[in-house]
Each structure stands twice: as C-alpha cells, then as structure tokens.
Structure 1
Amino acid sequence: MRLPVLIFDIETLTDLKSGAHLYGLDLPEADLDAALTKLRRQEAGTDFQRLALHEIVCISGLWIDEKGMKLFSFSREDNSEAEILKKFVSIFEKRHPTLVSWNGSQFDLPVILFRAMYHGLSAPSLFDQGEIDTQKRYNNYQNRYHHRHIDLMDVMAMFHGRHFQKLDDTAHLLGFPGKRGDGGYHVPEYVQNEHWLELTSYCEGDVLNTWLIYLRWLLLKGQLLLNDHQHMIQSTIQYLNTQPQHADFLSVWQQTSQRTEFTQSDFPSLTH
C-alpha cells in the first residue's frame, strides 16, 4: 500500500440559487426545489440533479500514513462551501496521497471541480494533468486508468458500467456495516435541522466502508499480504474504539462480520 492514502466522500444538496439562475426561474425559495426537480425529470428522466448544481455541504476523509489513521470532516456547521473546498484542496498542496473513493470519478471529483470553479478557486495539485508537473501526464487524479485516484466502484466493475455496484450492497456482501440498516438519504433534513454530527457521521460511515473494501481489494491484488490485511483491520477497530460517534458503526460491524466466514475473525472475542 502506497502511503499516504486518503479515502474521501462528499455530501451535497441542490444549489437552488444557481439552479434558478441557470433556468431563469423567478420563484420563492420554497418552490424552487420542486421546480428544479420537475425540470430535471423532463430533460433527463431522473431526479438526480446535474453535477454543477450539487452544492457541497460536507467532505469527509480518512487519512492513513506512517503515523496511523485519522478521520476528519469539513461541514457547513463551521464553513461555507468555498471554505470546505479550500480546506480539502489544500491537502494536496502539502502531500500527494493515493486518493480512494466509491464513484468518485463520476460524481465526487467532477462536483468538486465544478464547485471550485464556481467559487474561483485554484487547485493545480488536484487537477493538473501534466501541464505544470510533467510527471502527472502518466499518473494524475483524473485519468480513469491511473493509480493516483482509485475509484473502487469503477475498478471493481473492470471499468464496465453494467457491473457497477452500490457501496451499501458491496459492504454488506463482504461482511461490513454498509448503511447500518438505513437506506434513506437524510442529508437535506440533517442540514435543515442543523444536525451536524449526524451529517458528518453519515459521510464518515461511507468513508469507513470504502476503506474496508479498499483493504480487501489490496488483498485481492496481492498488494497486502494476509497478515498485513488483518493488522490493518485490527488497527481500524482499535481506532474506532476511540471515536464515540462511530460506536454504532463498530457495533453493526461486529454483527455483520459474523455473516461471512472470512470476516468472522475480525472480532475474535465473538467466536469463543
């Protein structure tokens, strides 16, 4: 495993102001969301809004290096969207981590690109493709087949859209918590009600599931030996024991680990 590693995920809402500007809508704010949803259904047959209209309300990450691991979140509790983006892209100015995501190539990174441009930000360390650093011609964060950014959903589907899987389903299949029995998307109500801990815990939960799947991917590819894989799993469990906001994640992981033969040893005390 090439250190440092950064597993990341974002949470978004529809940017009503930009949507009104784009479509020339003069409506009360309370009516804009429904109007934009209707327009999106008409033009694309889906409620999923175009990427440029996804306003970022949280970016969470798990940083792993020689010193250990650390979870973090930048959210709208204390930051504007521009401030969230500035903090996130500044990471790449200092270090050049292996970036790991689930569907990050098709969603998270393009949204970050659009929203950074919207706010007039510069992020060459993340988006340079060799124009500044010639080495990035051969290994940058945007190229689908490079290894600086690993979109697990894409690589595990062998780059074939028909084989794409949901993060929740894959995590459950492999003996990890997934969404912990809650398939609902609660981000809008978390933001509306200022439930910031719930928002960051939700986003960090996706990061943790992605990390666990990444470890299994490295084991499959021979980039982690079995003993090293088991060590990283135990290190993750020990770290989560210090994170009270993820007590539920750890508890559900203990239960789901017993559903596959390979993961039963993740929590040795449960096998006796």
Structure 2
Amino acid sequence: MRLPVLVFDIETWTDLKSGAHLYGLDLPEADLEQALMKLRRQESGMDFQRLPLHEIVCISGLWIDETGLMTLFSFSREQYTEAEILKKFLSIFDKRHPTLVSWNGSQFDLPVILYRAMYHGLSAPSLFDQGEIDTQKRYNNYQNRYHQRHIDLMDVMAMFNGRNFQKLDDMAHLLGFPGKRGEAGYHVPEYIRAGEWLKLTSYCEGDVLNTWLIYLRWLLLKGQLQLDDHRLWVQTTIQYLSSLPQHGEFLAAWRQNAQATDFTAADFPSSTL
C-alpha cells in the first residue's frame, strides 16, 4: 500500500439557484425542486440531476499517514460554505499527494468537485493537473482511470466495464461489512432541512469506511497486502472506530454482518462478541 492514503466521499443536493439560472425559471423556491426534477426527467428519463447542479454539502475522508495513523474527518455545511468546504479539501493536495481511493469517484465525486470548484473560481492544480504543470503527472495523475494515483474501486473491480458496476452497499454487505446499516432511501436533503448534521456526516463517513474496508480486501486480492498485514489493518481500524462514539452503530453492524462470511467473521473472534 502506497501511503499516505485518502479515502473520500461527497454528499450533495440540488443547487436550486443555479438550476433556476440555467433553465431561466422564475419560481418560488418551494416549487423549484419539482420543476427541475420534471425538466431532468424530460431530458434524460431520470431524476438524477446533471453533475454541475450537485451542490456539495459534505466531504468526508479517512486519512492514513505513513505511520499508519488514521484520521476520519468531515467538512460540512454545518460550519462551512460550499466554497470553504472545497478549499479545505483541495488544500490537502497542495501539501501532500496521497493515493486517492473512492467508490464511483471518477464518474461522480471528482467531476462534481471540478464543476463546483470552477463555479466558485477556485484553483486546484495539484488535483487536476495532467502534466501541463508537473510533467510527471502525464504518467500518473488523478484523472486517468488506468493510473494508480486515484483508485476508483467501483471501476477497477468491474475491470473498467460499466456492465459490471456494483453498488457500494451491495459489495459491503456481500463482504461482511456494514453497508448502509438499514438506511433505506436517500436522506441527505432531509438531514439538511432538519439540521441533523451529525446524521449527515456519519452517513458520509460510513460510506468512506465501507470503501476503506473494501480497498483493504482489494489490496489483499492483488497481493499488495499479505494476509497478516491485512488482518493488522483491519484490527487497527476496529480499534480506531472503538474510540469514536458516533460510529458505535457502524462497528456493531460490522460485527453482526461479519458473521455472514467465514473470512470476515475472523475479524471479530468469539471472545470479543
């Protein structure tokens, strides 16, 4: 494993102001969302908005440094504007050049970050340079799907074939990890409107943690981690989560789901149940 590693995920909702501007709508805010959804269905047959209209409300990450120290963090709209969230996240790449790990980050998270950073007039050459500034990035940058600087697990596990794409939740459950922990549906807008910021950040961080656990299993498959090292990283993760009360539910769901597969069940010996 090439350290440092940054596993990340974003949460978004529809940017009503930009949507009204794009489509020339003059409607009360209460009617805008439905109008934009109807227009999107007419355009594409689906509710999922075009990427530039996804306003970022949270970016979560798990940082693992060269010593193996883990830090789970979130930048959310509870404390920051969207532009401030982006500045904080993008500044990481100005200082360090981590291995970036995501689930569907190539098709969703990074393009949304690109569009929204442009919307706010931000610069992020450390993340988006493809060799124009640093010639070494011609051969290993964060955008090229076949490079190792950004590993989109959904993409690489599908062997770069869209017909093989799997959902993060499904893969997490299959491997004995928590997944969404019974969360049915997409609740991000509800959390924001109700000011339930801890639920929002815990939801986003849960996706980050599931992605990290799948990444460890992926490295084991590829021989980039030996079995003993894999077990050590898993136990380090369990110990770290034990120190985070907000993720007690995640840890409990992991302990329960692990029993569904023989390999993952070994993460929680019977003496710890």
TM-score of the aligned structures, taking structure 2 as reference length: 0.98
3-state DSSP of counterpart to 1:168 = helix
Aligned-partner Cα distance in 1 for 2:187–2:272? 35
Aligned-partner Cα distance in 1 for 2:3–2:210? 19
Aligned-partner Cα distance in 1 for 2:100–2:184? 26
For this pair of structures, how many residues does the alignment match?
272
Shift of 1:184: 1.7
Aligned-partner Cα distance in 2 for 1:88–1:264? 35
In structure 1, the residue matched to 2:78 is 77
Alignment of 1:72-221 (within 5 A): 72-221=73-222
Shift of 1:182: 1.5
Q: Which amino acid aligns with 1:64?
A: I
Provide Cα deviations, 1:163-202, integer angstroms capped at 9, x if missing partner.
Answer: 0000000000000000001122110011011111000000
- Paired residues of 1:264 and 1:271 also in contact (CA < 8 A): no
Aligned-partner Cα distance in 2 for 1:33–1:250? 36
Runs of 4+ in structure 1 over 6 Å off: none
Shift of 1:271: 7.8
In structure 1, the residue matched to 2:20 is 20
In structure 2, the residue matched to 1:64 is 64
Aligned-partner Cα distance in 1 for 2:103–2:126? 21
Segments of 5+ residues of structure 2 without an aligned counterpart are none
Q: Which amino acid aligns with 1:35?
A: A
Q: Which amino acid aligns with 2:58?
A: C
Aligned-partner Cα distance in 1 for 2:99–2:270? 33
Q: Which amino acid aligns with 2:147?
A: H
Root-mean-square deviation (Å): 0.9
Provide Cα deviations, 1:48-88, integer angstroms capped at 9, x if missing partner.
Answer: 00000000000000000123101000000000000000000
- Paired residues of 1:265 and 1:271 also in contact (CA < 8 A): no
Q: Which amino acid aligns with 1:242?
A: S
In structure 1, the residue matched to 2:44 is 44
Distance 1:123 1:87, change over 3 A: same
Segments of 5+ residues of structure 1 without an aligned counterpart are none
3-state DSSP of counterpart to 1:25 = coil
Shift of 1:34: 0.1
In structure 1, the residue matched to 2:240 is 239
Shift of 1:269: 3.1
Aligned-partner Cα distance in 2 for 1:150–1:270? 36
Aligned-partner Cα distance in 2 for 1:270–1:59? 36
3-state DSSP of counterpart to 2:6 = strand
Q: Which amino acid aligns with 1:117?
A: M
Distance 1:21 1:221, change over 3 A: same
Aligned-partner Cα distance in 1 for 2:79–2:120? 18
Q: Which amino acid aligns with 1:248?
A: E
Shift of 1:136: 0.2
In structure 2, the residue matched to 1:227 is 228
3-state DSSP of counterpart to 2:232 = helix
Identity %: 81
Aligned-partner Cα distance in 1 for 2:82–2:46? 25
> Which stretch of structure 1 is more off in the superposition, 236-245 or 260-269?
260-269
Aligned-partner Cα distance in 2 for 1:271–1:84? 38
- Paired residues of 1:178 and 1:206 also in contact (CA < 8 A): yes
In structure 2, the residue matched to 1:9 is 9
In structure 1, the residue matched to 2:250 is 249
**1:258 maps to 2:255:** no
Aligned-partner Cα distance in 2 for 1:271–1:220? 27
